[in-house]
Amino acid sequence: MKKNKIFVACDSSNILKVKRIISKTQSSKIKVGYKFGLEFINSKDGRPFLSKLKNKTIFVDLKLHDIPNTCASTVKAIKDLKINYLTIHISSGLEALKATKKVSGKIKLIGVTILTSLDNKALKDIGFNKDVKKLVLHQARMANKAKLDAIVCSAQEVKLVKKVFKKEIITPGIRFNSKSNDQKRVVTPKQAYKNGSDWLVMGRPITQGNIKKNIQNLIDHLGK
């Protein structure tokens, strides 16, 4: 049987903490990749560390949100890093998505839909007049048009996204219980895979407290 796949979010600016996250999350039962976001990449030692990291599935979560030229140029600027996945906000627009995809080469370009920290009320506050589900579906169609390699959405929208986007679906906002922190659209790991997620993204539920125990909890929860 295929292994369940998760990206562990290495959200820290502390190299020792990130090293600990990597060593304590090794498992033969699930496939683990590592996600590095703005906090880590912008820390003093983050980029050099990443440039030396070998034999790992690496996801760089830059969440590009800019004009086509800037997004595409940024991809060129990180080509020295051997990374597997990179994010861009779909709301950067179709031209930016296409321009970035054109230069991304072997890096899988992931389109980020509506952040899992936003709900319908938050969208209204920003000025959107469509609800979460309609917007995510609309953006999944854009990701398809731009030939992106993967999409990020909440596991609540996976079934909907699958209707129009046939490649990898990656879902953050994963929680074992009601402790959702700043996330609004949350789903349990088991339910997220059941809905059809290819990869889960998990940060705090794995990296806070006893990391080894948290990974074992995940494996038990999944019945592996």
Residues classed as catalytic? 63
Q: Where would I find the beta strands (DSSP E) of the chain?
A: 5-9, 31-37, 58-64, 85-89, 108-112, 150-152, 168-171, 199-202
Closest by Cα among 185, 25, 191, 24 to 6? 25
Nearest to ligand C5P of 17, 102 (CB atom): 17
Residue 37 binding ligand C5P, by CB under 6 A: yes
Burial 176-191 (b: 16+ CB within 10 A, else e): beeeeeebbbbbbbee
Between residue 148 and residue 177, which ones bind ligand C5P under the rule CB under 6 A? 152, 172-173
Span from 20-28, 112-120, 131-139, 188-196 in contact with ligand C5P (CB under 6 A): 112-120
Residue 90 binding ligand C5P, by CB under 6 A: no
Distance of closest approach, residue 9 Cβ to ligand C5P, in angstroms: 4
Binding mask 131-150 for ligand C5P (x = CB under 6 A): --------------------
d(CA 201, CA 35): 8
Q: Total number of residues binding ligand C5P (CB under 6 A)?
A: 17
Nearest to ligand C5P of 102, 188 (CB atom): 188
